[in-house]
Amino acid sequence: MLEHPDLDQRFVAAPQASLNRPAFRVAWPGGGLPVALDLAASAMLDCFDEPLSPRHLADDLVAALGLEPAVALESASSVAQTLLRSGHVIPDGMVPMPPDSLAYPPPASP
């Protein structure tokens, strides 16, 4: 079974630099992992522009897409956990690194 972040805790998008293209987005959060996001993943990340809990995101998935509540909750929790681990979202109220201290793009590998 997946580990879920607290289903009622709210998360917000972390400050990040991004390269936006019509079909994808590459995002680098401060202190996190750069990732390439397709249109669906970009839309899910954009949901966290305002504080959002996995439970509320699941409710929106049920209403917007007609998903079964259990499937929507599993999906929303999985997305929140993945974005949290990669540094793309942070717990609401956390003070993130100042954006001017971010150095992007990251240096090339040796």
Model pLDDT, residue 19: 92
Taking the C-alpha atoms of residue 105 and residue 92, their distance in angstroms, rounded to an integer, is 26
Measured between alpha carbons, how far is 45 from 104 in angstroms, rounded to an integer?
19
* Mean pLDDT, range 62-83, rounded to an integer: 94
pLDDT at 104 over 70: no
Read off the pLDDT band of 106 (50, 70, 90): low
Write down the mean pLDDT value for the chain: 86
For the segment 67-78, the average pLDDT, to the nearest whole number, is: 94
Residue 15 phi, psi dihedral angles, 5° rounding: -60, 135
pLDDT at residue 1, rounded to an integer? 46
* Residue 76 confidence (pLDDT): 94
Taking residues 46-69, report their average pLDDT: 95
- Between CA 39 and CA 22 the distance in angstroms is 8
> How close are the terminal C-alpha atoms of the chain, in Å?
38
